[in-house]
C-alpha cells in the first residue's frame, strides 16, 4: 500500500517534468522556422516538425530517469559507484534519444533518414554531449524533488512528535489538578461527592487516553469542557456558573484537542481566588471571516488584587506552543485583564470545517 501511494505521487511529477519539455520543443521549432525564413527558404514543415518532436522524445525518456534516480539515489556512502552507474545510464539515454530521433525523422521523410545528413554515428556523437547534460539535469531535478518531499515528511513527523510531547505534558497536569480537587472533598468526609467526582474524572480520562487526531470538532471539545466543569461544579457548588455562548454554525470547526480545558481551568482558578461570591466563566465561539475566535472569560476580582493575577503557567504555555506548531503565525492566544475586572483568554485560529467523530 505504501509503495503504491508513493508511485501515485511520483506519476504527476513525471508528467509535469515531461510536459516542461514543451517549452524547448516549441523554441526549437520556432528557431528552425525563423532561420529558414531569414535564409529565404519556405521552411518546409518537416524541418520544423523534427526538432519539435525530437524534444518531445526526450520528454518520453524522462520517467525512466526519474525511476533510476529513485532506485539508485546518489547517497553519500555510495556516491562514487552510483555516479558511475548514472554516467553509464546517461550514455544509454543518449543512444535511446538518438535512435528515437532517427526513427522520428525517417517517419517524417518516408524512409531511412538521419538528421542533417551526418549518418547514424555522426548523429549519435552530436547528441552525446548535450544528451549527457540533459540526463544529469533531469537527475538533479529528481533528487531535488525527492529531497523536498522527504523534508516535508520529516517536518510533519517532527510537528506530530512535538504535539505528542505537549499532550503528554498536559495529561499529568490535568490529572494531578483533578485528583487534588477530589482529595480536598474527601478530606471533608463528603464521600458521595468524592465518588461522583471520581466517576466524572473516569469519563474524562477515557477521553484523554483514547487519543486521536490533533484536530477535533469544536462540539467535541465543548463536551470535554462541560465534563471538566461538571467536576469543578461539584467541588465549588453554587460558586461556579459556567455559561456557553457558541454560534451553532461553529460546532463543526476544527480545533486542537484539549485546547479549551487549560483556559477554562485558568479562568476558574482566577475567578474564584480570594472570593466568596459566585463567579461566571463564559466560553464563547464565533466566526470572524476566515478565523475562528474562542474566548474564555471570567468575572473575577478587579485589577490590583495581588492574589488573583491570571497565570501564564505550563498549561497556557503548552496551549500557546501547540497553536504555534499547528498554525504558525496564523494562530494566537492572548490573555488580558479588562479594566472592569476578570480575565479573558482569546484564541484566534484559521477556520476549517471538520465532521463530528461521534456523529
pTM of the model: 0.53
Q: Which of 283, 285, 284, 298 is nearest to 236 (CA)?
A: 298
Average pLDDT over residues 26-40: 79
Q: Are strands 240-246 and 279-288 parallel, antiparallel or unpaired?
A: parallel
Average pLDDT over residues 65-88: 89
pLDDT the model gives residue 257: 81
pLDDT the model gives residue 348: 96
Q: Which of 253, 229, 257 is nearest to 241 (CA)?
A: 229
302 or 74: whose pLDDT is higher? Answer: 74
Task: Identify the weakest region by mean pLDDT among 227-241, 262-276, 297-311.
Answer: 297-311
> What is the maximum span of the chain, computed from C-alpha positions, in angstroms?
109
What b/e sequence results for 79-96 when a residue is b if at least 16 CB atoms lie within 10 Å of its CB, and e otherwise? eeebeeebeebbeebbeb
87, 75 in Cβ contact below 8 A?
Answer: no
Name the 3-class secondary structure at 57: helix
263 or 318: whose pLDDT is higher? Answer: 263
310 or 82: whose pLDDT is higher? Answer: 82
With cut-offs at 50, 70 and 90, classify the pLDDT of residue 42: low
pLDDT the model gives residue 190: 65
Q: In CATH, what number does 190-350 get? A: 3.30.565.10
**Residues 6+ away with beta carbon under 8 Å from 249:** 287
326, 256 in Cβ contact below 8 A?
Answer: yes
Task: Identify the weakest region by mean pLDDT among 56-60, 258-262, 273-277.
Answer: 273-277
pLDDT at 331 over 70: yes
Q: What is the pLDDT of residues 206-248, one digit of tens each?
A: 766 665 566 789 998 899 889 888 878 877 777 889 999 999 9
pLDDT the model gives residue 290: 93
314, 169 in Cβ contact below 8 A?
Answer: yes
pLDDT the model gives residue 5: 39
Q: Which three cell numbers stand for residue 330?
A: 496564523
Average pLDDT over residues 30-47: 74
271, 300 in Cβ contact below 8 A?
Answer: yes
With cut-offs at 50, 70 and 90, classify the pLDDT of residue 7: very low
Length of the chain: 359
pLDDT the model gives residue 199: 75
21, 62 in Cβ contact below 8 A?
Answer: yes
> Domain coordinates of the chain in residue numbers?
2-153, 190-350
Q: How far, in Å, CA of 50 to CA of 115, rounded?
A: 9
26: left (phi over 0), alpha (psi -120 to 50) or beta: alpha
268 or 305: whose pLDDT is higher? Answer: 268
pLDDT at 181 over 50: yes
| Average pLDDT score over the chain | 79
Task: Identify the weakest region by mean pLDDT among 159-168, 189-198, 320-329, 336-345.
Answer: 159-168
pLDDT the model gives residue 13: 61
pLDDT at 2 over 50: no
Average pLDDT over residues 110-130: 80
Q: Which three cell numbers stand for residue 163?
A: 504535539
Report CA dihedral (113, 116, 121, 122) to the nearest 10 degrees: 170
Q: Which three cell numbers stand for residue 93?
A: 539515454
Q: How far, in Å, CA of 323 to CA of 336, rounded?
A: 18
Q: DSSP letter at 250?
A: G
Task: Identify the weakest region by mean pLDDT among 75-89, 165-179, 220-234, 248-262.
Answer: 165-179
pLDDT at 295 over 60: yes
pLDDT the model gives residue 172: 56
Average pLDDT over residues 92-114: 87
Amino acid at each position: 500500500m505504501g509503495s503504491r501511494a508513493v508511485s501515485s505521487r511520483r506519476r504527476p511529477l513525471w508528467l509535469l517534468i515531461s510536459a516542461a519539455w514543451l517549452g524547448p520543443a516549441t523554441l526549437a521549432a520556432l528557431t528552425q522556422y525563423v532561420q529558414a525564413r531569414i535564409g529565404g527558404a519556405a521552411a518546409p514543415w518537416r524541418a520544423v516538425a523534427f526538432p519539435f518532436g525530437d524534444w518531445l522524445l526526450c520528454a518520453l525518456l524522462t520517467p525512466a530517469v526519474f525511476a533510476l534516480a529513485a532506485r539508485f539515489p546518489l547517497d553519500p556512502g555510495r556516491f562514487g559507484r552510483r555516479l558511475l552507474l548514472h554516467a553509464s545510464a546517461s550514455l544509454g539515454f543518449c543512444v535511446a534519444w538518438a535512435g528515437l530521433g532517427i526513427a522520428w525523422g525517417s517517419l517524417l521523410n518516408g524512409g531511412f533518414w538521419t538528421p542533417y545528413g551526418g549518418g547514424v554515428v555522426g548523429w549519435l556523437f552530436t547528441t552525446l554531449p548535450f544528451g549527457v547534460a540533459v540526463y544529469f539535469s533531469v537527475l538533479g531535478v529528481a533528487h531535488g524533488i525527492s529531497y523536498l518531499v522527504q523534508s516535508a515528511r520529516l517536518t510533519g513527523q517532527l510537528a506530530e512528535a512535538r504535539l505528542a510531547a505537549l499532550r503528554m505534558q498536559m495529561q499529568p497536569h490535568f490529572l494531578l489538578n483533578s485528583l487534588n480537587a477530589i482529595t480536598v472533598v474527601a478530606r471533608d468526609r463528603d464521600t458521595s461527592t468524592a465518588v461522583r467526582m471520581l466517576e466524572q474524572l473516569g469519563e474524562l480520562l477515557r477521553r484523554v487516553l483514547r487519543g486521536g487526531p490533533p484536530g477535533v470538532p469544536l462540539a467535541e471539545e465543548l463536551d470535554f469542557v462541560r465534563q471538566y466543569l461538571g467536576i469543578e461544579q461539584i467541588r465549588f457548588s453554587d460558586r461556579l456558573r459556567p455559561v456557553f455562548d457558541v454560534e451553532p454554525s461553529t460546532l463543526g470547526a476544527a480545533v486542537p484537542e484539549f485546547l479549551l480545558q487549560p483556559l477554562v481551568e485558568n479562568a476558574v482558578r482566577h475567578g474564584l481566588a480570594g472570593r466568596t461570591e459566585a463567579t461566571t466563566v463564559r466560553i464563547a465561539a464565533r466566526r470572524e471571516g476566515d478565523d475562528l475566535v474562542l474566548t474564555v472569560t471570567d468575572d473575577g476580582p478587579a485589577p490590583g488584587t495581588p492574589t488573583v493575577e491570571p497565570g501564564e503557567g505550563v498549561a497556557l504555555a503548552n496551549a500557546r506552543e501547540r497553536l504555534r506548531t499547528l498554525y504558525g503565525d496564523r494562530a494566537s492566544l492572548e490573555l488580558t485583564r479588562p479594566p472592569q475586572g476578570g480575565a479573558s483568554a482569546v484564541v484566534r485560529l484559521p477556520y476549517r470545517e471538520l465532521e463530528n467523530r461521534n456523529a
